[in-house]
Amino acid sequence: MSPPPRRQPIGLELARTARVVSSAFERAMSEAGGSASTWQVLLLVRSGRWEAQSRMAEALGITGATLTHHLNALEQRGLIRRWRDAGNRRVQQVALTGEGEALFDRLRDVAAGYDRRLRSNLTDQDVERLTELLGKLRATLDGTG
């Protein structure tokens, strides 16, 4: 009797898949003049008003210092503008410039196309199940599951 087939450890398979998915997304964003991190920050800035940069950093899952680095780079490129709130000088407002809006639109189109590409060999049920399973993995690791 032959031994049962060896299964790849799920963490290894997930890491390999994440690397391929992330690299392809980064290439697509780069070809459009951005990066995955640029897209994430522009999306967050565009999505709403943030009382504090610390909340923006938390939403992105990065440190405040890392967010400041990203915002400084985006400001130097003319993609965002920052100013102090007149009613509370401790609060710094952030908004996209016209050039930032244009890049946001380009990157949004790339992200949507990339998502279509990822889903192209999956059924709606596959996507639902994958989303559910990934959520379970996150919950297992962050202690909520």
Q: Taking the domains of the chain in order of start, what are their residue ranges?
A: 11-114
DSSP for 47-104 reads H---S-HHHHHHHHTS-HHHHHHHHHHHHHTTSEEEEEETTEEEEEEEEE-HHHHHHH
The reported pLDDT for the residue numbered 89 is: 74
The reported pLDDT for the residue numbered 49 is: 66
The reported pLDDT for the residue numbered 6 is: 75
The reported pLDDT for the residue numbered 120 is: 97
Q: Along the chain (145 residues), what's the average pLDDT of each consecutive run of 10 residues?
A: 76 94 97 95 86 82 92 96 82 90 97 97 97 94 79
The reported pLDDT for the residue numbered 145 is: 65
Beta strands 88-96 and 80-85 are antiparallel
CATH number of 11-114: 1.10.10.10
Residues 6+ apart with CB under 8 A from 32: 106, 107, 109, 110
Half-sphere exposure of 7 (CA within 13 A, CB side): 4
The reported pLDDT for the residue numbered 84 is: 84
